A and B are shown apart, each in its own frame.
Chain A
Amino acid sequence: MTIHVPTSPAFKDNAHEALRDPALQRALGNVESGFIAKRRKAADKLPEFEALRDAARDIKNHTLAHLDLYLEAYEKRVTEAGGHVHFAPTADNARKIVIDICKRVGARTIAKGKSMISEEIDLNGHLEAAGVTPVETDLGEYIIQLRGERPSHIVAPVIHLNRDQIEENFRAAHEGLPEDRDLSAPESLLAEARAMLRKKFLAADVGMTGANFLVAETGTSVVVTNEGNGDLSQTLPKVHIVLASIEKLVPTLDDVSQMLRVLARSATGQDITVYTTFSTGPRREADVDGPGEYHVILLDNGRSSMLGGEFREMLRCIRCAACMNHCPVYHAVGGHAYGWVYPGPMGSVLSPSLIGVDKAGHLPNASTFCGRCESVCPVRIPLPKLMRHWREKEFERHLSPATVRSGLKVWSFFARRPGLYRFATRIGMRALALAGRGKGRFASLPLAGGWTGTRDFAAPQGDTFQAQWRARAGR
């Protein structure tokens, strides 16, 4: 059993390791070469794509402004359809609700579709402790589970791995897999996993899925997958549990269809995912299949307190991962370096809200603010602005490093006194220019080791611009 502790406080060490991991660096090349071009192509093909992004933003804003009403309406519809809605204020509450259901129906195994909320509440370790075996049925999640890892990406959980590493895991874990079976094509790995998983679907007592959207109008949960495992997880077992967070609500089915038009395009560059599965309540009398029980667990875990504050816009996120797919920092260090469930720019805003900025404080700082994330976000979340809000909170609470604070203090003392600044910088730059005159640059500089450890630093040309300008103008 593994209970995961956030390693976000060690972000710098994690990043250091990641940068020196050749297998990881090889795998990360796929993020840049794969997702970006596909999203661009899908977006370019659809003339109304930018307008759809506005519409998606507006739908989410409207829902969040009336979230209490939509949650009530949703609960009413689910109940009318014969399902049960459980509100879980905390991760602990949510885990207890799942485990209680499993115990009540005597479940020994639970087949799980991919769910980031399950990762957020670290469900698997707790299920195992309670004697219930979780079986991940999404191929990526299945591999992660074999390896005892967490996903490194919210859409492609094993983007940090190469095919040969996965083959190794399968050969170690799958008893009876002939040594001479050729697994060199990705399809053969998929077939191998599919054969293993089919047995587990049939044996599972409870099926669990996440939700991409919850529809207030109908009490429906919507899951998108490319493998169809979501369908099997929710139709084969006798109990279906939907595990979702409260901001997944949208008002109507029309809204869902609008959101779906931006989701897959932003995520994988597909027009739409292979499967889009709608489920509403348990099996009805005339239905040929479906679960006997239908439960929805709605997790808050700090989200309702985000609603009233400056991070509210983050609740628009539909987990497409476009932000991390386009992030130069994510490209460099991968998802595990971020140290908790949500990596990349969306994680750098969300993680401090969920586990505390004291633990996740590095994340919103480890950004160049290049703005590429915001430029591709399907619901137009101003991610750099929200990361900056976290930096402000850290500064207010004296959580930013002492060196940064004292450096800022000295710099701001001069910057706020233009006369003194011009005088001091003139002397300083003349001295530096003299010191750097031979080479025109410095290979090392005191207090700038973070830069000069790997890069030269250009020496000043000489006198400052302001001094030269005034000298030329005769002032």
Chain B
Amino acid sequence: MAHAHEPKPRVGLFATCLVDLIRPSIGFAAAKLIEESGCEVVVPSQTCCGQPAFNSGDRATARALALQAIDAFQGVDYVVAPSGSCAGQLKKHYPELFAGEPDLARRAEAFSEKVYELVSFLVDVRGVSAVKARFDGAVTYHDSCAGLRELGIKTQPRKLLDSVEGLTVCEMKDPDVCCGFGGTFSVKYGEISDAIVSKKIENISASNAPTLLAGDLGCLMNMAGKLQRLGRPVKARHVAEVLAGMGDEPAIGEPARR
């Protein structure tokens, strides 16, 4: 990743709406990691990738939001999101939205080619093999579905976590099984979503790791919310926060220390 003589690649950080609204510390962790990999980070004005509309069958809104994002991220070399789900929408589903419309499809394709999920960007594009961070204790890692199955993210986060000083990864049973979040599914079919996350929680607890990590805030909020409702002591964090050495923020859903 030594590109000292070349101009730094310009990375547009797509924070994702959940990170923007609920947990900005993930955005700052992502920016720090991208900068440390030798890139310049910009944050164009943004709202949402449109996935909730796309998955609710509202194609018109999904298309409008896709075009909005494509316009907002013109002029960057890469678009990076700290979420496999949102990156999957940008990378895999934007071109689908404009199939049969050559001009728009070409723009969507050109945009999609620049899109990466954060951790796979660091490892696969920037060649990062280790981070300078410390986190004391065991963690267990949940593979979020879209990152795993749409983008093939499995080894990259584990590779970087291995380089964090003081950290050990304790794999849970079925780390690649859905946590039951599913975006609006978690509210529309709350009872089923709860049944699925309840099984997940048992696997997380059985790993004996006091910390749960994942690459998607939606899944993390779902699992953290269930852990907390059941009074389990496991704390949930986004993998970027730990990799960026920002693992001392209050965990997801935990109060700020005063």
Contact = CB atoms under 8 A, between A and B. Distances in A.
B190 A425 contact: no
Most interface-central of B24, B25, B177 (chain A CB within 10 A): B24
Given A371-B150, A408-B61, A464 B24 contact: yes
B22 A393 contact: no
A458 B221 contact: yes
A451 B180 contact: no
B15 A465 contact: yes
Nearest to B223: A455
A243 to B, nearest CB: 34
A461 B196 contact: no
Interface in A1-51: 12, 15-16, 19
A441 interface: yes
B225 A466 contact: no
Nearest to A429: B21
A131 interface: no
B100 interface: no
B177 A392 contact: no
A380 to B, nearest CB: 13
B168 interface: no
B247 interface: no
A235 B14 CA distance: 65
Contact of B56 (A366, A395, A458): A395
A129 interface: no
B110 interface: no
Contact of B47 (A371, A415, A465): A415
Given A419-B45, A454-B190, A455-B226, A400 B56 contact: yes
Contacts of A385: 96
B192 A366 contact: yes
B20 A465 contact: yes
Interface stretch (A84-92, A194-202, A325-333): A325-333
B1 interface: no
A401 B181 CA distance: 20
Interface in A347-384: 365-372, 374-375
Interface in A233-255: none
B53 interface: yes
B5 interface: no
Given A370-B149, A464-B24, A456 B54 contact: no
Contacts of A392: 57, 59
A464 B250 CA distance: 16
A460 B17 CA distance: 12
Contacts of B225: 441, 451, 455-458
A312 interface: no
Interface string B49-73: 0101111111101001100100010
Interface in A273-312: none
Interface in B32-50: 43, 45-48, 50
A459 B187 contact: no
Given A425-B21, A429-B21, A465-B20, A15 B189 contact: yes
Contacts of B199: 331
Most interface-central of B146, B183, B195 (chain A CB within 10 A): B195
Contacts of B22: 429, 458-461
Interface stretch (A52-60, A137-145, A205-213, A432-440): A432-440
B48 A371 contact: no
A439 B254 CA distance: 6
A450 B252 contact: no
Nearest to A462: B24
Interface residues of A, number: 71
B62 to A, nearest CB: 9
A454 B196 CA distance: 12
User: B interface, by DSSP: helix, strand, loop or mixed?
Assistant: helix
A416 B196 CA distance: 33
Interface string A213-237: 0000000000000000000000000
A412 interface: yes
User: A interface, by DSSP: helix, strand, loop or mixed?
Assistant: helix
A441 B25 CA distance: 16
Contacts of A469: 24, 27-28, 31, 43
A368 B52 contact: no
Contacts of B190: 449-451, 453-454
B155 interface: no
A396 B53 CA distance: 13
Most interface-central of A16, A369, A416 (chain B CB within 10 A): A369
A440 B253 contact: yes
A329 B192 contact: yes
B5 to A, nearest CB: 26
A138 to B, nearest CB: 30
A367 B61 CA distance: 21
Nearest to A420: B47
Given A328-B180, A369-B182, A412 B255 contact: no
Contacts of A400: 56-57
B186 A451 contact: yes
Given A394-B57, A440-B256, A456 B187 contact: no
B40 to A, nearest CB: 12
A4 to B, nearest CB: 23
Contacts of A333: 192, 195
A391 interface: yes
A395 B52 CA distance: 13
Nearest to B20: A465
Interface in B169-214: 177-178, 180-197, 199
Contacts of A371: 145-146, 149-150
A332 B196 contact: yes
Interface string B69-104: 000100000000000000000000000100000000
Q: Which 3 A-B pairs have the closest CB atoms?
A: A368-B182, A450-B190, A395-B57
Interface of A: 12, 15-16, 19, 328-329, 331-333, 365-372, 374-375, 385, 388, 390-396, 400-401, 404, 408, 411-412, 414-416, 418-419, 421-422, 425, 428-429, 437-441, 443, 448-451, 453-466, 468-470
Given A395-B58, A461-B24, A469-B31, 20 more contacts: A328-B177, A333-B192, A369-B183, A369-B185, A370-B177, A370-B182, A371-B145, A371-B146, A372-B149, A372-B178, A412-B64, A416-B65, A422-B45, A455-B228, A456-B253, A458-B22, A461-B25, A465-B19, A466-B43, A468-B28
